[in-house]
Amino acid sequence: MKPAPITVLHVLRSLGHGGIEAWLSQVVPLVDTSRYQMELLLEAGSETPLAREFPNHIKLHCVPSGEGASAWMMGLLRFFREHSEIQVVHSHYHLGSGFVLGAAALAGIRVRIAHIHTQSACHGSRLDTKPVVSVVARQMLSASATAYLSPSMSALRDVCKEGLDARKLAMVLPYGVNEQRFAFDRAARLRMRHSLGISPATLLVGHVGRFVGFKNHTFLINAFAACAARRPNVHLLLIGDGALRPEIETLAYTRAREKVTLLGVRSDVPELLSAMDVFVFPSRVEGLGLAAVEAQASGLPIVMSEGVPEEAVAVAGLVRRLSLGSGPQAWGREIAKMSPSDEAERMEAASRFSQRISVSAQQLSAFYDKANGR
C-alpha cells in the first residue's frame, strides 16, 4: 500500500515580489502531491496577490507576528501543536528560522529544515543587525535545524559560521526558473521597445532588483553614465522598487538625464528581458541572484560582479564577471562593447540553460526523501 503524503509546511514572512517568493510560487506546485502535501504559513496581514498563483490544493495559513521574538515564537508553537498533521517544517526566515524551528522542535516535529536564501549582508532586520539577538538566533538555528538548504555554498557558510554539523543533511539547491516563460520572444521585444520609445538601434541595458544597498544601484548608474559617454545611443531600464528608489532616481537624472527609465515593480519581466540587449548585475553580495538566472533563461548576455555566487551562472559563456574594485569606468567600457541582440544567438544560448524549475522540483523532492528517511 502506498504511504500517505507527508505534510510539509513552508514558513515565511510574506509573499512579496522578491526572488524567494517567486521561486517558491513556481517550485511548490510542481512537487509530487502523491508524496508531499505542501502548505504555507505567513504572518497575518501579509497576504498578497502572489498567493493566488498557488493551486487550490496548497493550503494557506496565517499566524500573528506578535510583539517581540518570544511572543512570535509562542504563537508559532501554538499553531504547530494545533496542527499535528504537520511532519516537516521548512523555514525561509534566514536567522529567524532559529525561532521557527525552535518552536517546531518543542512541538515534536521531527524534520526541521532551515532554507538559507541569502547572506546576512543582504538583510536589515534586527536579527541580523543586533549582535546579541543575532548570536541567540544562530545558536537556536544550530540547535533546532535538522537539515539545511541554500542556493549557494557562500550563503550557507555565511550562516553556519562555525561549520556545518556533519550529522545534519545539507544541500546546495540553486533556484530554477520556468525556461519557457522567460524564453526570448521577438514579437514581445518589438512590442515592448515600441511602447517604451526605444529604437531598434539603441543598446538597451537592463537591471531587475530591489532598491536596497547591496544591489549597488549607485555603482550601476555611474557605470551606465561611463558607458553613455562612450556610446551615446544607449538606454537603461531599472525594474523594481524599494527605499532607495528616490535617491537613485535623482542620481540617474543627474548623471544620465533622459537615458534612464525606472519602471517600478512589473509583472511582465519576461517581455522586458526580451527587449533588453545586456543585463547588468553589480551586487556587492547575493545569496544567489535569481534575476540574473532569469536573464540567462532569456539568452541575455550579463555583466555581473564577483559578489554574485558562481552557482548563478546557468549558461556557460553568457556571463562576464567583473570586480567591483575595477570601478564604474571599467564596467562602462565593458557594457559599451556589447551589441544589440541577435535572435539566433539568444535562442542558442537559452538552449544551454541549465537551471530549469522542473529540475529544482525533482531535487527538492529528493531532499525531502532524504530528510524523511525515505
Provide the grid cell at 366: 529528493
CATH topology identical between 6-176+357-371 and 186-351: yes
- Taking the C-alpha atoms of residue 249 and residue 125, their distance in angstroms, rounded to an integer, is 25
Give the pLDDT of residue 371: 94
Q: Where are the alpha helices (DSSP H) in the chain?
A: 19-27, 69-82, 97-106, 126-129, 131-144, 153-159, 186-196, 217-230, 245-256, 269-275, 290-297, 327-336, 343-351, 357-371
**How big is the CA angle at 51 (ends 46 and 55), to the nearest 5 degrees?**
150
- Taking the C-alpha atoms of residue 62 and residue 47, their distance in angstroms, rounded to an integer, is 9
Q: Where are the domains of the chain?
A: 6-176+357-371, 186-351
Residue 157 burial class via C-beta count within 10 angstroms: exposed 0-12, middle 13-18, buried 19 and up: middle
For 49-103, the pLDDT digits (tens) are 666 667 777 888 988 876 777 788 889 999 999 999 999 999 998 888 999 999 9
Mean pLDDT of 191-203: 96
- Does the pLDDT at position 126 exceed 50? no
Residue 272 burial class via C-beta count within 10 angstroms: exposed 0-12, middle 13-18, buried 19 and up: buried
Give the pLDDT of residue 131: 63
Give the pLDDT of residue 78: 95
- Residue 44 one-letter amino acid: A
For the chain, how are helix, strand and coil distributed in percent, rounded to 5? 45, 20, 35
- Residue 350 one-letter amino acid: A
Homologous superfamily assigned to 6-176+357-371: Glycogen Phosphorylase B; (3.40.50.2000)
Give the pLDDT of residue 132: 66
Q: For the domain with range 186-351, which CATH number is right: 3.10.290.10, 3.40.50.2000, 3.40.50.10490, 3.40.50.720?
A: 3.40.50.2000
Give the pLDDT of residue 46: 56
